[in-house]
Chain A
Amino acid sequence: MSAVVQTKENYFKSANFKKKTGQAIVLIVLILGSLLILSPIWWMIATSLKDMKEIMTYPPTFIPKEWHWENYLITLQKGPFLQYTLNTLFITVFVVIGNVVANSFIAYGFAKIHFKGRNVLFACVLATMMIPGFVTLVPQYVIYAKLGWLNTYLPLILPAFFGSAFNIFLLRQFFLTIPNELIEAAKIDGANHLYIWWKIFIPLAKPAIATVAIFSFNGAWNDFLGPLLYINDESLYTLQLGLQIFKGQNDTQWNFLMAGSLMVLLPVITLFFFFQRYFIEGMNLTAGSKG
């Protein structure tokens, strides 16, 4: 590269400037967007800090007149939320493990192994997504009741180990983008599919797997209908069920409800914040890829 004298005209034309302006625009858009996204959250926070009297005044205030930080402590004391948290954590951890392992396993089969009836079976998988949940609600409940699984976490955890259509579909799409040369190469070296799945595909598909992990964590953590139906003992309740005590027929305690809801989402969002790198780590495919 020949030395370029950095004159004023040069600077404005240079790629560097273009890049920096581009970034600045993106930044501004993101900041504005964030403010918009955060405003309902702000409303939740503000509500959680008010006392019921202020909540019931009209017109509503956007900034609390008095900041009742103690609402958070009070919320925690209104119910056995520590127990609920542990319960929810227990369920969620197993569900995530089950989802990640089972779905990547199954999706690999659909994506990279050729067997008779594959397309038909995959269509069946997709088809299960199209059935509204609650017509199978009652029969499924009856099955679990007959199996004696009511009031246990089995109905909530076990299905995760048998795959779910959404995650299978998702991972299959990702796996399809991984070149087949990898598989061929591994086979030449004598590997079977199990080895390929475990040692090659899972590491390569980290962003997709992380996505499945976060989706299923979110789903299990916030699951309401499952725990409602299958758990009878209050000591086994999960967080979402526990939060309901603040919602009344016509006497909802908004401040505690909002405080509780905010606290419930903290673990998930913290997880997301720290595990972001798994989404961002590039899928390091073989050198010399198409260009």
Chain B
Amino acid sequence: MERIVINKPEITKKYKKQKASSSLQRKEGLQGYLFIAPWIIGFLFFMAGPLLFSLYGSFTNFNITSKMDFIGLDNFKKMFTNDPIIWLSLKNTLYYVVISVPLTTAGAVVLAVLLNQGIKGMRVFRTIFYLPAVLSGVGVYLLWMQLLSPSSGLVNTLLGFVGIDGPAWLTDPSWTKNALIFMKMWSVGGGMLLYLASLQGVSQSLYEAAEIDGATSFRKFFHITLPMITPVIFFDLVTSTIGAFQIFQEAYVMSESGDGGPANSLVFFNLHMWNKAFEVFDMGYAMAMSWVLFIIILVLTVFNLKIAPRWVHYEGEDRK
């Protein structure tokens, strides 16, 4: 409700400013929507439909090709009371997430710092470490199956050189997940890229100032480098966690006939979902599973987002 104010200059000025700033805000807002429009369009056209479909599908007995009858919460009931494998699959997945994510994140950071030195030949080293991340496809998994052979594989042979008796990586149920984590560590160079780029943004003057104060490399790392790259660490942690929860391809290829063996040690949540979808053709159930996983990941990510301000430091600061 506008109030007609007569001849009060300060108030008029303030009112004019408010009006000006709110129309500016609106203009700002419009530009914002314009910028994110491509994503919105893409989402609506390519993702929204399938997502809603799969949400609805999780309440049906959809089998991809012939039926889709509404069955209410049956899928979810079955999941929580009648599926012996699902809890194991969650456990396996959690194990993988909890161990691989911190390891690979820390590894990538350390690697990036090491490769950021101004020493000659860094280009070659960076390329070498990045190489595994570029190798992709089933060929790599098959390669690793050979490398992880208990007596004649490369891994155990190398371990043997330093006197360690390597385990039966892919046939001993207590070591299979570690084998996959080991494999993931090999391609830690992929994540390193991210940190390399972000290290460039850390202003040299900070280091110089610290050096004048007599800081050692360690202190420089922990008190300058790390805090300045926390935005990227945050990104890496969130995306790695999301990715790790969805591990599937490795287990599918590397366990005998894709069943997550031996002794279901490699049955991850997604692998179980895959079997339900494409072996049993119970796609409705698989869709239900995917939404449960979504909720789990969502909760974790929100948690991450909430505690982020405590340790993530943005130089640029959020624009008000």
Contacts and interface: CB of A to CB of B under 8 A. Distances in A.
B112 to A, nearest CB: 10
A94 interface: no
Given A41-B131, A139-B50, A26 B231 contact: no
Contacts of B47: 128, 136
A140 interface: yes
B143 A40 contact: yes
A38 B131 CA distance: 9
Contacts of A177: 198, 201, 231, 314-316
Interface string A198-235: 00000000011011001100100010100000000000
Interface stretch (A55-63, A70-78, A79-87): A55-63
Given A40-B144, A183-B319, A207 B196 contact: yes
Contacts, number: 284
Contacts of B217: 22
B7 to A, nearest CB: 32
B134 A140 contact: no
Interface residues of B, number: 105
Contacts of B151: 59
Given A113-B35, A115-B28, A224-B137, A169 B235 contact: yes
Q: Which 4 A/B pairs are nearest by Cβ-Cβ distance?
A: A162-B42, A109-B35, A115-B32, A207-B197
Interface of B: 25, 28-36, 38-43, 45-47, 49-51, 53-54, 57, 64, 111, 114-115, 117, 119, 123, 125-140, 142-144, 146-147, 149, 151-152, 154, 157-158, 186, 189, 193-194, 196-198, 200-201, 203-206, 208-209, 217, 231-232, 234-235, 238-239, 242, 245-246, 248, 270, 273-274, 277, 283, 286-287, 290, 293-294, 297-298, 301, 314-320
27 contacts: A30-B114, A36-B158, A37-B128, A37-B131, A60-B146, A109-B34, A112-B319, A118-B32, A125-B39, A127-B298, A135-B277, A136-B47, A139-B50, A174-B197, A177-B201, A177-B314, A178-B315, A179-B316, A180-B316, A222-B134, A243-B139, A272-B134, A279-B196, A280-B196, A282-B201, A291-B205, A291-B208
